[in-house]
Amino acid sequence: MRRRQFLKGALYGTGSMIALGGCGSLTKVDQKTLAANQIAEKTVYSTCEMCTSRCTMAAKVRDGKVIKIEGNPNDSSTAGTVCARGSAGVSLLYDPQRIKKPMIRTGERGTGKFKEVSWDEAYTFIADKVTQIQQNYGPEAIAFASRINPQDAFFRQIAKAIGSPNTFSHEATCPMTKTTALEMTFGNPWIAADYGNAKYIITSGRNFFEGIHVSMVKGVMKAVQNGAKLVVLDPRFSVTAAKGEWVPIKGATDLAFFMAMANIMIKENLYDKDFIENYTEGFDKWVEAVKDKTPEWAEKETGIPKEKIIEITRDFAAKRPNALVEFGWRTPWTPNDYQCRRAILIINLMMGNWEVPGGYYQKKGAGVLQPFPDQAGYAKPTGGGYGPMPPAPKPSKGRIDGAGVKGTPGILIPVADGAVGQIPESILTEKPYAIKGWLVHRFNPVISMTESERIIESFKKLDLLVTCDVYMTDTAYYSDVVLPECTYLERYEPIIDQSGLIPKIQLRQPVVPLVYPDTKPAWLIYKELGQKMGIGDFFSFKDMEEFLERQLKPSGIAFDQMKEKGFWSPADMKPFYMRGKDPKAPAAPSLNEKGKMHIFSHEIEEAIPGQGIPVYTKYPQPGEGEFRFVQGKVAVHTNAGTHNVPVLNELMPTNSLWINSVSATKLGIKDGDNIVITAGKYEHKGVAKVTEAIRPDTVFCYHGFGRISPGLKRAYGKGINDNKLIPNAIGESGNVVTSMTFVKIRKV
């Protein structure tokens, strides 16, 4: 009767609890303790993380459970609202499909065989492998890639401490060409648009009403309600196009449109000469560059009638300076997309819309206000939270993507982001040197980066692949170690600076205790991993309370106040435009050494001769039977992050391929037909959506679908994974290239 001992011992031998295997969760308690634990209803103010826009939010909590997420009613920038994704955060929090324990792979990569382990086992496994790679190949052979977020600083701290220069964000797959353009023109990327006061807005593909950022949406809506004209250049009739005038431009020709606008503005004297003279340099070279870029020429390139280009330009310029061309969000369309973004910025400079209502402005964090005596008193900058740390080892090799090296093309790649597409290339080709370990934090290369199959192929050559996420993502599925992060509703993060025309800092804080007790916040995961790796000195803070207290101390704002309100802005400060009262007032962008904005960029010219001023590249157009393949965001999903979130999956479980009705008829395709999309060696099945709302030479799908991890049960295998069809090219500013793929379609 062995079993009598085995089970009996557990039942009767250890006091009131059961100590056997995973048992022992239930303990005896007295009623007094229980009564003390009763929790009343409360509202906790925090910051949303259902996308990277970081809107303020309010969570209603009853009996320790989040019952609703709303906007923060005290925040005028969002008018107290969150979007559909923001309110769906509750269903992410309580999703049974989240990862609950650290896991280590037990089968071949991609077979989905794992065992659950303790955190200590997971850390030890990672630390041992990292040490091996460091010894065999050097610390630079370990790459780090994450989605930009306040907490990914802790992840990057590991790279810094071991001396790997190879840190990357997801930005190359999204707004990086815009970032490059801003840095090369203004000297920094922290520039924003004052949509709400604009009288005319032109957007090149930016789809405000589907790629939602709540305060920006509110701004554009306010402008439109006040009678502003909204012009949307897009091969597809997007929701934003539906709210304004749709200009169905030929793909990859937007730069021609903007060069022609400049040509007209110069020829007809429709630009702000004083502004150009006082605040910019290199305009003469721009005049030269656009002198033959006539509306007639642009009509041939863009497919937009010259009369329309002239009409838009004149009407737009008439609203000077309270009008803007939007610089875009997900922008890596062509290899040299940054030149199109630069041209957009130059048009804005010609409008003199810098630091005036309805134009562009330097985000007014407390640091930016300091040189302005009448503004400096409104806010004091926050500080660092890490505490003392030893000097970081100097990387012995340069980055694999050459980012940030002056005088070379790498200068176009923002160092904070990097050309993430280089990681799989360096794994596969071992050039400029081999990458052997890849640590991934809240990023999903398989779906977010181009050429999914090449990414997976690269995984197979790695000695170590670690993913930290909330779900068993497509990348986690192939990983050696999977670390379960808790959600944004269960953790603190460093202070978030969301300043606009006035300073604004926000807190992300736990709204409820951990739902799954063995998940952890990123700060703790990387602090503990750091300790295991012997680099604990780089994390010399006890906990996030201490970290945040340190950050807030120099600002004079109390931590308790932040916890109570969720955000802080100076109550009595008015929106600050540097040129609001005097159009000749000093208004240099911050960090711009010369104080002038660069229409001509010496830095670019030095790196790539002949490119200091935007130069038009004539890209091929689709031939007979081919279509340009473009993709975009949808209002109820975020990139590759939300397709398995219960409520959002229910709202939109799959996507389809938009094809123009005339083109579809030629191919014998009807709405709802099953199709195969072919791009070079890759194929993807899908369903056709036949519509008038797209150019006949273009097809479109929403991004982030067609998931390959069975661990994402709701999203698995549903719809088209656009990135399976797009080759992994690296653009001039390190960007992926999303809109240069031509596809063929056939009915099945």
Residue ranges in contact with another protein by CB under 8 A = 2-4, 6-8, 10-12, 16-18, 20-31, 33-34, 63, 65, 90-91, 94-101, 103, 106-107, 112-116, 471-472, 477, 515-518, 646, 709-713, 716
602 in Cβ contact with 723 (< 8 Å)? no
Nearer to ligand SF4, 129 or 213 (CB): 213
Structural element, H or E, at residue 659: strand 657-660
Structure tokens at 146: 């994450």
**CA-based torsion, 37, 40, 45, 46: positive or negative:** positive
Q: Kindly state the smallest distance separating residue 461's Cβ from another protein, in Å.
A: 25
* The pair of three-digit structure tokens given for residue 33, joined into one six-digit string: 């303790």
173-197: b (≥16 Cβ within 10 Å) or e: bbbbbbbbbbbbbbbbbbbbbbbbb
Q: Looking at beta carbons only, is 214 or 349 nearer to ligand SF4?
A: 214
Q: In whole angstroms, how close is the CB of 530 to another protein at the nearest point?
A: 24
Q: How far is the CB of 556 from ligand SF4 (least distance, A)?
A: 27
Count of residues that bind ligand SF4 according to CB under 6 A:
13
Give 514: exposed, middle or buried? Use CB within 10 Å, 0-12, 13-18, 19+: middle
Helix (H, G, I), strand (E, B) or coil at 399: coil
Nearer to ligand SF4, 212 or 525 (CB): 212
Q: Which is nearer to another protein, 36 or 571 (CB)?
A: 36
CA 119 → CA 122, 127, 513, distances in Å?
A: 5, 12, 19
Report the distance separating Cα 369 and Cα 358, nearest Å: 20
Residue (50 or 439) nearer to ligand SF4, CB: 50
Examine residue 92 and tell whether it contacts ligand SF4 (CB under 6 A): no
Work out whether 635 is an interface residue with ligand SF4 (CB under 6 A): no
Choose among ligand SF4, another protein, none what residue 320 binds, the Cβ cut-off being 5 to 8 Å by kind.
none
Toward another protein, which CB reaches closer, 10 or 221? Answer: 10
Our finding on whether 83 is near ligand SF4 (CB under 6 A) is: yes
Of 54-73, binders to ligand SF4 (CB under 6 A) are 54-55
CB of 55 or CB of 511, closer to ligand SF4: 55
Q: Nearest approach, Cβ of 71 to ligand SF4 (angstroms)?
A: 7
DSSP structure class, residue 403: T
End-to-end alpha-carbon separation of the chain, Å? Answer: 64
Taking the complex as a whole, how short is the minimal distance between the CB of residue 32 and another protein, in angstroms?
A: 12
Q: Which is nearer to ligand SF4, 51 or 552 (CB)?
A: 51
Q: Which residue has the tokens 């910019």?
A: 280
Residue 214 exposure: Cα atoms within 13 Å on the Cβ side: 29
Which tokens go with 174? 């999204």
Q: Which strands make up the sheet holding 229-233, listed edge to edge? A: 245-247, 229-233, 200-204, 323-326
In whole angstroms, the minimum distance from the beta carbon of 79 to ligand SF4 comes to: 12
Q: For another protein, which is the closer residue by CB, 122 or 730?
A: 122
Which of ligand SF4, another protein, none has residue 53 at its interface (CB below 5 to 8 Å by kind)?
ligand SF4
Question: Binding marks (x or -) toward ligand SF4, 196..235, rule CB under 6 A?
Answer: ----------------xxx---------------------
Which of ligand SF4, another protein, none has residue 748 at its interface (CB below 5 to 8 Å by kind)?
Answer: none
Among 44, 82, 99, 449, binds ligand SF4 (CB under 6 A): 82
Alpha helices (runs of H) in 645-690, residue ranges in sequence order: 646-651, 661-666
Q: What number of other Cβ atoms are within 10 A of residue 229's Cβ?
A: 18
AA letter at 15: G
Task: Provide, rounded to whole angstroms, the least separation between the CB of residue 447 and ligand SF4.
Answer: 18
Cis bond upstream, residue 432 (ω within 30): yes
DSSP 709: -
Closest to another protein by CB, 563 or 713 = 713
For residues 632 and 207, is the Cβ–Cβ distance under 8 A? yes
Residue in 58, 59, 77, 85 binding ligand SF4, rule: CB under 6 A: 85
Biggest CA-to-CA distance, the chain = 100
From the CB of residue 96, how many other CB atoms can be counted at a distance below 10 Å?
8
Cα–Cα distance for residue pair 271/288, rounded to 1 Å: 16
Nearer to another protein, 97 or 621 (CB): 97
Residue 633 Cβ, how far from ligand SF4 at the closest point, in Å? Answer: 11
Regarding 484 and contact with ligand SF4 (CB under 6 A), the answer is: no
Smallest distance from the beta carbon of 549 to another protein, in angstroms? 25
The nearer residue to ligand SF4, 60 or 553, going by C-beta atoms, is: 60
Burial of 57 (0-12, 13-18, 19+ CB in 10 A): buried
Q: Which does 214 bind (CB under 5 to 8 A by kind): ligand SF4, another protein, none?
A: ligand SF4
* Partner whose binding site includes residue 114, from another protein, ligand SF4, none (CB under 5 to 8 Å by kind): another protein
Lay out the site mask for ligand SF4 across 29-48 (x = CB under 6 A, - = otherwise). -------------------x
Task: Give the ranges where 430-495 is alpha helix by DSSP (H).
Answer: 445-448, 452-459
Instruction: Decide whether 213 or 442 has the Cβ nearer to ligand SF4.
Output: 213
When the beta carbons of 54 and 684 are compared against ligand SF4, the nearer one is 54
Within 8 A by CB and 6+ apart from 160, the residues are 167, 392, 538
Q: Min. distance of Cβ 454 from ligand SF4 in angstroms?
A: 30
User: And the tokens for 192?
Assistant: 């924003």
Shortest separation between residue 473's beta carbon and ligand SF4, angstroms: 18
Kindly state whether residue 53 participates in binding ligand SF4, applying the rule CB under 6 A: yes
Q: Return the structure tokens found at 694.
A: 């797209």
594 binds, among another protein, ligand SF4, none (CB under 5 to 8 A by kind): none
Total Cβ atoms within 10 A of residue 116: 15
Question: Are residues 726 and 633 in contact, defined by beta-carbon separation less than 8 angstroms?
Answer: no
Cβ at position 447, least distance to another protein in Å: 15
Residues recorded for the chain:
748
- Interaction partner, residue 646 (another protein, ligand SF4, none; CB < 5-8 Å by kind): another protein
Q: Which residues form the interface with ligand SF4 (CB under 6 A)?
A: 48, 50-51, 53-55, 82-83, 85-86, 212-214
